[in-house]
């Protein structure tokens, strides 16, 4: 079924398909996840969550990278209704989203799915002060892992997006520093993160690790637009000299 070019008609179609309960609506709703209108993308995600057909999981996982926070939030909430472990990796990545509502929705979804592979990532965010992550851990019936252990597990899994977003938290940063040289590539890349807090924390962590491989990147960070990042880079370089 092709969606109309008329915005109002597309809205009505997505609403009707979501209310139909008919699994044959899933392909059209997946198509609507790529609509030019954010409201339609959000409604499509919500509708797919209600229908609960697992063929929608890959498309919803991709929607967790949508440009609009409310669409990403709707996708996370929808994925939490599937009770399917294949949704877990994308939701773990969404714990590193820049928007609190999306992180919270992802944590709640992971708690609803109940897959223990989410425990390390949820632990990191629980230590970083995210209540939704702590609630999800309690729902899973797992105590929070020791932070160094949780960070090490995520690093081994390559889930650096989660770790870097939590980098400004001092406890998380110290646990990443304990990883030493293996953390360098992700930390150097984080010097270009959109968040000045993340960039500054990355510079500080690189200084604490003390590996000279970071010198060039830290020198470049001394030209950062944010004065706090420049200061952190200079202090890190002083530890490497």
Q: What is the DSSP string of 88-116?
A: HHHHHHHTT-SSHHHHHHHHHHHHHHT-G
pLDDT in the model for residue 166: 94
Domain span holding position 235: 180-241
Instruction: Compute the average pLDDT of residues 143-170.
Output: 93
Domain end point (choices 31, 60, 82): 82
At residue 144, the pLDDT reads: 82
Is residue 147 domain-resident? no
In a domain, 127, yes or no: no
CATH number, position 218:
1.25.10.10
User: Tell me, what's the pLDDT at 1?
Assistant: 59
Q: Residues 126-138: what's their mean pLDDT?
A: 92
Count the domains in the chain: 2
Write the CB contacts of 193 (distance below 8 Å, at least 6 apart in sequence): 164, 199, 202
Is 116 within a domain?
A: no
Helix (H, G, I), strand (E, B) or coil at 40: helix
Single out the residue in 55, 82, 109 at which a domain terminates. 82
Look at residue 136 and tell me if it is in a domain.
no
User: What predicted TM-score, i.e. pTM, was given to this entire model?
Assistant: 0.86
Placement of tokens 């929607």 in the chain: 63
Residue 76 domain-assigned (yes or no):
yes
What pLDDT sits at residue 14? Answer: 84
pLDDT score, position 124: 94
The DSSP output letter for 183 is G
Instruction: Say whether pLDDT at 2 is over 70.
Output: no
């Amino acid at each position: 079924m092709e969606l109309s070019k008329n915005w109002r008609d597309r809205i009505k179609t997505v609403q009707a398909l979501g209310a139909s309960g008919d699994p044959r609506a899933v392909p059209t709703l997946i198509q609507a996840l790529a609509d030019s209108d954010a409201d339609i993308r959000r409604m499509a995600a919500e509708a797919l969550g209600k229908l609960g057909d697992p063929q929608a999981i890959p498309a919803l996982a991709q929607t967790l990278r949508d440009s609009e926070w409310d669409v990403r939030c709707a996708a996370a909430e929808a994925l939490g209704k599937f009770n399917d472990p294949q949704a877990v990796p994308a939701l773990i990545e969404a714990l590193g989203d820049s928007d609190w509502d999306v992180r919270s929705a992802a944590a709640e979804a992971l708690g609803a799915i109940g897959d223990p592979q989410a425990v390390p990532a949820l632990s990191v965010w629980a230590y970083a002060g995210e209540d939704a992550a702590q609630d999800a851990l309690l729902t899973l019936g797992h105590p929070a892992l020791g932070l160094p252990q949780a960070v090490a597990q995520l690093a081994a899994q390559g889930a650096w997006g989660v770790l870097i977003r939590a980098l400004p938290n001092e406890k998380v940063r110290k646990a990443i520093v304990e990883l030493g040289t293996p953390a360098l590539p992700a930390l150097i890349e984080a010097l270009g993160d959109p968040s000045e807090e993340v960039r500054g924390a990355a510079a500080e962590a690189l200084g604490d690790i003390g590996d000279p491989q970071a010198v060039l990147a830290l020198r470049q960070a001394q030209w950062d637009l944010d004065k706090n990042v420049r200061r952190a880079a200079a202090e890190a370089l002083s530890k490497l000299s």
